[in-house]
Chains A and B, each alone.
Chain A
Amino acid sequence: MYMNKVWRLAAPWMALLVGLWSSQADAGIFWIFDPKGVMADTNLKYMIIDVLVMGAIVGITALLVVWFMWRYHKGKNRGSYHPEWSHSNAIEVVVWGIPIVAVGFLAYFAVKGTFELNPYNPTVITKNMTPQSQRVDVDVIATDWQWLFVYPQYHMAVANELVLPVDTPAFFRLTSTSVTSGFFIPQLVGMIDVMPGMRTKNALYTTHVGEYQGICSDYAGAGTSWMTFKTKIVPQAEFTQWVQQVKASPKIMTEASFDRYAEPYINVHHRVAYFSQVPDGLFDHVMMEVMDGKTWPIPPMMTENMVAYMAKQSAEHRD
């Protein structure tokens, strides 16, 4: 009686959830299930292996529990009652055995995957490369709360937009000016921490032209939610053209202007800026400066009133 009521109340909500899932499952919004680069692909492969193994165990256990709940329900007399039964060597062996075997099996894949996706040397990408292979290097500098993508091969930089040629491995070096943030492009490459005074690395390779969302995956302060960037994977010719376009920009980045650029800025309007010139070694310069104690402090309670802060920020004419 009571349970009937519970089910009647719960059914519409369950239907809503299932409906949401099924109506949008193939709409490409499940980024993790819709990888477009070799790194993200590999992540998904391991996820499938793990979920198959663990899902089988967990699923069977859940069914077992439900079956016991049904069979040994007091008063229904479906199963026999053994008031003292509390030990069985055979069952003990099974209950220790299953998890040990499962963990052993998955441990192999865990280690294999960790080496394949090692951000410093992702063998899923590098195994197909020779020293002569074409590659794009990008130095990623996270500030409070913008991204600067420096292309050392082209001596130029772009703020808050990442453009890469298709079919070409891209290698990132990442550092931050102020606090720890995270670099994440769900459909292309997993997360890596971006830390001040430190250098991390990552890489991506994709054969899919398209536009992908980049996210700051670690909380870095008030502007984190707007610290997103578009990642455009374009054909080689289009990339060359784009480089020309950046090189034609009147703006340049110097060490001094970087100082100003790195001051706290909430990128609400997703401004993108092209810098046709960047001093070589800006990345190392920033890292060394931070290691020497340079900080870009934020004013106290800067977003206590966000509307007022945005008015102040736009009055600064930072562009």
Chain B
Amino acid sequence: MLVDLPGGWNPLLGRLAWSQIPYDNPILAPLFVAVVLGGIAIVALITYYGKWGYLWKEWLTTVDHKKLGVMYIIIGLVMLFRGFVDGMMIRTQQAWAVGPDSSGVFGALHGYLTPFHYGQVYTAHGLIMILLAATPLLVGFMNIIVPIQIGARDMAYPYLNALGLWITAAGAALIMASLFIGNFAHNGWFGYAPIFEIQYSPGVGVDYWMWTLQLLALGTTLGGINLLVTIIKMRAPGMTWFRLPIFVWASLSANIIALTSFPALQVALGLVAADRYLGAHFFTAGLGGNLMLYTNLFWIWGHPEVYFVILPAFGMMSEIFPVFSEKPLFGYITMVLASFAIAGVSWLVWLHHFFTMGAGPDVNSFFSVATMLVGIPTGVKVFNWAFTMYRGRLTFTAAMLWALGALFLLLIGGLTGMMLAIPAINYMVHNSVFVIAHFHSMLLVIVYAVFGSVIFWFPKVFGFKLDEFWAKTMFWLFTGGTVLVFVPMYMLGFMGMTRRLDYVFNTNWHPYLLVMEGGIVVYTLSVFAFFVLLYVSIRDRVKNRVGADAWGTSRSLEWLTHSPVPFYNFAVTPHVNARDEAAWRRANGIAAVQPAKYVDIHMPNNTPVALYIGALTFVLGFALTWRIWWLCLASLVAIIVLMIVRSYRGDPGYIVTAAELERMEREAIARERQVDGSAGEPVVGGAPAVGRPAMAYERSDLPKTSTPPSMGPGAHH
């Protein structure tokens, strides 16, 4: 051991010992029992219905970007729920532990959580919500929608895509493991120096935090590379840069940020690991360490990360508004410019997360003005959405409501963001709950956009719409919760309440904290509404079936293919003629044109390797956390061997023949005609359908312009 570790260590189990299992904790022990029982129930159900084979073949080993995207979204929603429960615990503690006379249980002086536990809860809440809820939800949508919107068959690297998912899942598993084995970090999701050093956080909590973040950073970086290559290289013929759907532009700008910023985090965490494992002094207070360096490095990633999650959300809103305004997005070029302006400026603003750290006024001024610059493109976006509605024909579907909710939250978040950007104001509200309310406003923009997108794109992926009544009910309950939690929180900020208090010393704040607790109850109702929404929609799925164009006013390319989207996306690669291709085809009366002729297509094979590597990265993360060196080595070697073996074998892929394709297409068309008779008789037009140079489909006699997914040597026949 290079560092002194409190507690024991042995070569076989590292720091792991029975005493690390919190079986005597009155909150965790019952939860553990519930989780075990739930797990047994799920396993039993899968076995009873004989679904293991289906699960393995269709989901666990898949490389289909849509299924991977759906799994990303499932991870995101599950972790959103876990993060919500953490939030509920935080709110309950603060509503309870107010003033010296408040009672305490479970070993806490006040409330029911000891400071150490409370710290873990809010740290987990922050990390989960940003990296395991927002990020997977958005990556999931980018995964599903981007390839279809650009007319590709799959992502550029389908196997890498699966790898990204399973590494993200490993990160999620690691943070969940910390619930029942050992503990989690107590020092905030950004874990400032030097409190994460071994002297001040001697347990394994910080190690869990560090390796979870590393895994998530790795998974997201891999996903970012994949999306960038897909967007740049795999666009359908005719899909020029300025015909790209706006969500693709948003994804492109976001993933440029991801690819360039996540390595900064990984380096920073690597240095933290050196401090904690090797006894280095990168971020210690003494011996030449520089604790401010960590803060800088973290936010050099952290701020771009904020835009990495907000830009796709903006893209989603830009897709939803035009469809339910029945006209094109206002100022498309401006929107693209604004996205890239936000992405560019995101690199110049990190210091506004610590104006109070004592930089000189010249430095603070620079970052203050740079931060305010973000307001310009963001303001432009808001105006453009408003003018998209102007002269439109608005239908207030549930998806539209969520998008509008996001817009109003963005206005509030923008107003308070411009306050925080000015150091003279920031000094008063930095580290207060005002900041918490501000960034929750912004992150709720993402949540609103995501729920809007769930409703908006659900019919595309699954072939039936979600129930409008329950979707709207959920929206209003969720909005009620938002108002009741965050309006008092802004007020408390103006009262000087600082963040992360596990004991609230000022009883004047109590009424507000109680209102927030009421807001949490309303939020909980919205969670129930979501479950009801899923249940009702799945129950009525036959009634709610949709055709290719689920909303009747859809605009971009993804609405041309069938709902649910077949595994090959488009039977014949479409030729893109306009910015809003679906709307263009509808306007020109060729929305129902089917290809004249099918050709063989080439698809990637399923592979379990990504799942194995994901599982091994979990083992590696766990072993590193507990310092079980032999297991670290074994899992690392196994990962490398698997990667090498997979690289040598490659994947030749398989061929879907034209005949098979035609049969599947016929079935899909027949199914769709049952649903929307309005589409009328399909016209077999093929290419060219509407006079040159416009075409409906890529001509099969021309050389292919979009390459099939790369699958190593021997893939191209």
Contacts and interface: CB of A to CB of B under 8 A. Distances in A.
Nearest to B493: A32
Interface string B503-516: 11110110110010
B502 to A, nearest CB: 5
B107 A110 contact: no
Contacts of A116: 424
Interface string A181-222: 010101100111101111011000000000001011111111
Interface stretch (A97-105, A129-137, A160-168, A245-253): A97-105
Contacts of B685: none
B187 A32 contact: no
A30 interface: yes
B242 interface: no
A103 B341 CA distance: 15
Contacts of B115: 221-225, 303, 306
Nearest to A55: B415
Interface in B75-90: none
Contacts of B287: 291-293
A91 B476 CA distance: 33
A43 B428 CA distance: 7
B393 A72 contact: yes
Contacts of B263: none
B193 interface: yes
Contacts of A83: 326-327, 393
A290 B414 contact: no
Given A43-B428, A72-B393, A17 B487 contact: yes
Interface in B105-144: 107-109, 114-117, 119
A43 B379 contact: no
B566 interface: no
B395 interface: yes
A268 B515 contact: no
Contacts of A184: 431, 496, 498
A180 B422 CA distance: 23
| Max count, chain A CB within 10 A of own CB: residue among B292, B422, B430, B515 | B422
Interface string A288-319: 00111111111111111111101000000000
Interface stretch (A117-125, A149-157, A234-242, A255-263): A117-125
Nearest to B583: A83
B189 to A, nearest CB: 11
A28 to B, nearest CB: 9
| Max count, chain A CB within 10 A of own CB: residue among B356, B395, B414, B511 | B356
Chain A interface size, as a band, is 35 or more
A195 B290 CA distance: 11
Contacts of B202: 297-300
Contacts of B194: 178-180, 196
Contacts of A294: 286
B183 interface: yes
A77 B394 CA distance: 11
A221 B185 CA distance: 11
Interface stretch (B212-220, B231-239, B254-262, B328-336): B328-336
Contacts of A95: 331, 334, 379-380, 383-384, 387
Given A29-B508, A213-B506, A306-B109, A103 B375 contact: yes
B424 A62 contact: no
B195 A50 contact: no
Given A180-B193, A290-B286, A226 B418 contact: no
Contacts of A94: 383
A294 B659 CA distance: 76
A193 B355 CA distance: 9
Contacts of B493: 32
Contacts of A111: 365, 368-369
A239 to B, nearest CB: 25
A224 B509 CA distance: 18
Given A55-B415, A222-B116, 20 more contacts: A10-B476, A20-B515, A32-B495, A46-B425, A68-B392, A68-B394, A81-B391, A82-B391, A86-B332, A107-B368, A107-B372, A113-B424, A190-B426, A193-B357, A213-B506, A291-B286, A296-B199, A297-B199, A302-B116, A307-B108
Q: List the 9 closest pairs (A to B, CB-CB), nearest first.
A: A190-B427, A113-B424, A186-B496, A196-B285, A99-B379, A95-B383, A31-B496, A293-B286, A305-B107
18 contacts: A17-B487, A31-B496, A32-B428, A43-B425, A51-B419, A61-B382, A72-B389, A73-B396, A102-B375, A110-B372, A180-B291, A191-B356, A193-B354, A201-B358, A217-B356, A293-B286, A295-B284, A298-B202
